[in-house]
Structure 1
Amino acid sequence: MDGLEAVDSVEVLILVDNATDNLSTVPSFVETEFAALERRRRGTWVMGGKCICCAAHGLACLISVRKGSNTRTILFDTGPEDGTFEQNVSRLGVDLGPVEAIVLSHGHWDHAGAVLRALQLIRDRNGGQLVPCYLHPDMFRTRAIKRQDGSMKLMEAVPGIDELTSYGASAINTAEPQLLAGGTAYLSGEIPRVTAFERGFPGQCRLILDGMGWEPDELIIDERFVAVNVKEKGLVVFTACSHAGVINVLTHAKSSFPDLPLHALLGGLHLVGQNGRIIPETVKAMEAFDLDIIAAGHCTGWRAMTALANSFGNGKLVPLSVGKRFLFSAGA
């Protein structure tokens, strides 16, 4: 897409993730939750359970893009439920007032369960202004996982357009790619499925529109990614779950911006469950993209993390955890 501006830096604060890890060492461009508490409270905080974040099955990222003296802020997903989201925002000392848009990556509860509370918290700090909320029309379908006996395990639904609107969202409900935050970030359209081995989310189904039965929904076509172009570095790609397959995600990012290198990948790779079988093919295929940083977490799974560590080493792999702050900047 034409018009994506190069920016000086992008800072990413992990508000929700499956893991918490304040003891492992990190590279210079990453700050842990404990380090942030030490810096913000100038060494006066007392280490204890009442001041730290909680991990939960889900993902929420606060993305702040800086160009010159201007900073634009996007909330990419909200995690699974209100309590975890609000507690982590509070304990990290985050002001949500500058958030100018929410992107829901796809229609799963672990990424959109706290969106209504997020809207309330943002509007409490922005003077009650409406918040643009980027959505895909298919994310509101009723979904379930098909059990071995043929029965369906229902998933919690994503809040609908009317409910989002009643909480102050200005809905942009389209499958088309978009430029966000004054052209400093890109939201993809639907991700083409081009690999032979990535098949989505095995076993997922959705309710037929007439409500009279179920149909396969393994591809999760509503999932999309966000990308930012950092000067001198290239694209930082944010993928929430990679249900499309992370190789399809990276392939589409590269084809969308063929003149830009891929610098970093951040998010969940969903190489768990039946998708654990494609870990070797996925890790091998990732080598061709020559990423500088792989910041994987959420639904990636420990087997895939081990394979990524074995293939790419500590120089490239930086696991996500709640409270971590990543800074991708020009010249750094």
Structure 2
Amino acid sequence: MKITILIENNKDDARDLINEHGLSLYIEKDDTRILFDTGKSDNFIKNAEKLGINLKDVDLVVLSHGHTDHGGGLLAFLKINSKAKIYMKRKVQEKYFTGFLLFKKNISISRNIFEKHSNRIEYVDSFTEIVKDIFIITDINKHYKIPDGNKYLFVKDGNRLVKDSFDHELIMVIKENEAICMFTGCSHNGTVNMIESVNSFFPHAHIRALIGGFHLVKIPAIDAIGPSKEEIDLLVDKIISKNINEVYTGHCTGEKSYKKLKYFLGDKIQYMKTGTQIQI
């Protein structure tokens, strides 16, 4: 399986690519081509062209959750790809916001997608194998604490904004031989909770790789304020106890948090930047 990071907050300086606050992964698994999230604009498409990747050939798209930095580029993708089905949870189409005190910013995915391209969407409401060896987990347990940064994220309920419960978030799992790789967009439900959820659906499978954002930045866009020592220790202990061989992270994990994880996990963890290619 080959994974190419089409969009992430940072980029490899050696490459002539565009970076933005968002995430988009292009995955080749046997004869299936998968897009996991689409960043917040069409920049992932421009990067794909520079990397020699033809997104017209993508067979399926999985949206991790309903925020625009993960699904904002979907409308542009639908203009160049006429065949891929888009898999998401039903609540992705609700209205989401971020902000402090009285200031709130709309971070919802464009309504045009749901109104004009409903024939391309496959809503997933329960654990599903969408194609051979590619699974969607919709039910995420919350035995452990969820990220502190969630307190700045909201969903519209009638005429008011309420704290987001993140029941629009999912996990993608790809099976490779007897092992599995799990993909998270932002881990709003907590990375440790997501690892435990994957383990509950695949109790006998070894999690070889964990790929995605971990939402360890406490205040959006302020990387200097990272997670507590307890949060880092819990995540490190879970990765080690589950014998997860490879960890690739970035985006909402935050560079400060990454450095802390790197200290404990060493070569087991790598930062994924725009243009990074991973072979699993």
Provide the TM-score with structure 1 as the length reference.
0.76
One-letter amino acid matched to 2:168: D
Q: Could you list the per-position Cα deviations for residues 11-42 of structure 1 after superposition, in whole angstroms to 9, with x for gaps in the alignment? A: 1111111111256xxxxxxxxxx5xxxxxxxx
* Secondary structure, counterpart of 1:64 in structure 2: strand
* Aligned 1:1-332 pairs, distance under 5 A: 10-21=1-12, 52-66=16-30, 71-82=31-42, 84-123=43-82, 129=83, 131-147=84-100, 150-160=101-111, 163-164=113-114, 166-167=116-117, 170-181=120-131, 183-196=132-145, 198=147, 201-208=150-157, 210=158, 212-217=159-164, 219-231=165-177, 234-273=179-218, 276-277=227-228, 278-314=231-267, 316-328=268-280
**Compared CA separation, residues 319 and 281, structure 1 to 2 (3 A):** same
Query: C-alpha displacement at 1:109, in angstroms?
Result: 0.6
Query: C-alpha displacement at 1:139, in angstroms?
Result: 1.6
Structure 1: unaligned runs, 5 residues or longer: 1-9, 24-33, 35-51, 124-128
Which structure is higher in RCO with an 8 Å CA cutoff and minimum separation 6? Answer: 1
Asked if the contact 1:187–1:224 (Cα under 8 Å) also holds between the matched residues in 2, the reply is yes
Asked if the contact 2:147–2:218 (Cα under 8 Å) also holds between the matched residues in 1, the reply is no
Q: What is residue 223 of structure 2 aligned with on the other side?
A: none
Q: Could you list the per-position Cα deviations for residues 59-79 of structure 1 after superposition, in whole angstroms to 9, with x for gaps in the alignment? A: 00111111xxxx111111000
Asked if the contact 2:215–2:253 (Cα under 8 Å) also holds between the matched residues in 1, the reply is yes
**Compared CA separation, residues 22 and 261, structure 1 to 2 (3 A):** farther
One-letter amino acid matched to 1:287: I
**Compared CA separation, residues 163 and 240, structure 1 to 2 (3 A):** closer
Provide the TM-score with structure 2 as the length reference.
0.90
Asked if the contact 1:143–1:157 (Cα under 8 Å) also holds between the matched residues in 2, the reply is yes
Distance 1:76 1:165 in 2: 22
**Count of matched residue pairs:** 272
Asked if the contact 2:95–2:155 (Cα under 8 Å) also holds between the matched residues in 1, the reply is yes
One-letter amino acid matched to 1:13: T
Give 1 or 2 for the bigger CA radius of gyration: 1
Query: C-alpha displacement at 1:201, in angstroms?
Result: 1.1
Distance 1:153 1:236 in 2: 35
Q: Could you list the per-position Cα deviations for residues 86-131 of structure 1 after superposition, in whole angstroms to 9, with x for gaps in the alignment? A: 21011111112321111111000100000011111222xxxxx4x3
Query: C-alpha displacement at 1:145, in angstroms?
Result: 2.6
Query: C-alpha displacement at 1:294, in angstroms?
Result: 0.6
Asked if the contact 1:200–1:244 (Cα under 8 Å) also holds between the matched residues in 2, the reply is no
Distance 1:90 1:72 in 2: 19
**Compared CA separation, residues 179 and 261, structure 1 to 2 (3 A):** same
Query: C-alpha displacement at 1:285, in angstroms?
Result: 3.2
